[in-house]
Amino acid sequence: MADYLLVLVTAPSKIEAEKISKAILSKKVCACVNMISGIKSLFHWEGKINNAKETLLVIKTKKSAYKDLEKIIKKNHSYTVPEIIAIPIVFGSSEYLKWIKETVK
Looking at residue 95, what is its pLDDT?
97
Q: What does the alpha-carbon distance between residue 82 and residue 16 come to, in Å, rounded to a whole number? A: 12
Q: In order of start, what are the domains of the chain with their CATH numbers?
A: 4-103 (3.30.70.120)
Given this model, what pLDDT does residue 93 score? 96
Residue 68 main-chain phi, psi, to 5 deg = -65, -40
Please tell me the distance from the alpha carbon of residue 35 to that of residue 2, in angstroms, as a whole number. 24
Consecutive H or E run containing 96: helix 94-103
The pLDDT value given to residue 30: 98
pTM here is 0.94
Largest CA distance in the chain: 46
pLDDT along the chain (105 residues), means of 10: 90 98 98 97 96 98 98 97 97 96 95
Q: Are 35 and 56 in contact (CB under 8 A)?
A: yes
pLDDT value of position 75: 98
